[in-house]
Amino acid sequence: MRDSERLRDLCGPHHRHLTLLETRLKAFDLQAESQGGGIRLSGTQEGVSIAEAALADFERRLRGGGEPSEMELDGALQAAQSPSQSFSGLRGLKKSVTAMTRGQAKYLDILANPDNALVFGVGPAGTGKTFLAVATGVAELNAGLRQRLIVTRPAVEAGEKLGFLPGTLEEKVDPYMLPIWDALRELMGQEQMERRMARGEIEVAPIAFMRGRTLKNAFVIVDEAQNTTAAQMKMVLTRLGRDSRMVVTGDPDQVDLPGSQESGLKQGLRILKDVEGISVHRLTAADVVRHGLVSRIIDAYAASGES
């Protein structure tokens, strides 16, 4: 490898990426070191093969605009250790988007199937359920498959009573929608996002603003759906119009509704489990792509039985 900058990205600061390879493939006695303008690998034949495949995939991701991060390398490692799994990706975006776990790959396969008009993507924080849904929506918008991208989520912290908050509607809504704005900026860039919003092709609004509407020819995302009430969930699901698709994302274990209200997401999953045309995909702690410690934290809380 002659590109010294690319080699530095592959090795990581202080060779942290090579250390990660050795840690993940410890069972194969893997040793990885930067040597002679390249990376020297030693260990069992299987371990070296996995590491070579992971590094090759990691380099492809970097060339496609991926971040030189441990998270990206982890995704490449998981792909290398699951060669039979087709790890899906999305095209036509500002940055390449590729599934980093088996669960994400299955989720993207479901999202990519236009016959899946209503998809539930549920799982803990950090599994990419919202980001991948937004990425799919942007890809369909860019390809001309949908005329609009609509993202909605309950502003549960304000009890959806935005009229009681100071400021304009945009100022009131923005704090609750920041994760969505961040995803759109990353996938489209600020300029394109603002231009398409001005044309009415992108809409981000609280779930209360969906009432009374029929959403036609749109890719609709209902985010943080665990914080919808039963009435809100029924309302938003029945907004689906002709030539539209809807993705509902949320974590049933992170309900912030006051009192003893049942989550609309939990009720919806229970009532609709056998309805034809509805797909449900459950992501787990194994699909968390934040800091490696996050998945272990999630597992520890799940094992304790405490919320």
Q: Using one digit for the tens of pLDDT, what is the confidence trace for 58-83?
A: 888 888 777 888 888 887 887 776 54
Please, is 23 exposed, middle or buried when counting C-beta atoms within 10 Å of its C-beta (0-12, 13-18, 19+)? exposed
Q: Is 0.85 topped by the overall pTM?
A: no
Whole-number pLDDT of residue 300: 84
- In the chain, CATH 3.30.1370.10 covers 4-80
Determine contact, residues 152/221, Cβ cutoff 8 Å: yes
CATH of domain 90-304: 3.40.50.300
Whole-number pLDDT of residue 105: 87
Q: Where are the alpha helices (DSSP H) in the chain?
A: 4-11, 16-24, 45-63, 70-80, 102-112, 129-142, 169-188, 190-198, 230-237, 264-271, 292-304
Measure Cα distances from 189 to 192, 201, 292 in Å: 6, 15, 28
Q: Using one digit for the tens of pLDDT, what is the confidence trace for 242-288?
A: 999 999 999 999 998 888 889 999 999 999 998 988 999 999 988 88
Whole-number pLDDT of residue 264: 95
- In the chain, CATH 3.40.50.300 covers 90-304
Beta-strand pair 38-42/89-90 = unpaired
DSSP notation for 271-284: HTTT-TTEEEEE--
4-80 CATH fold:
Ribosomal Protein S8; Chain: A, domain 1 (3.30.1370)
Q: Which residues of the chain have pLDDT under 50?
A: 1-2, 83-87, 157-169, 171-172
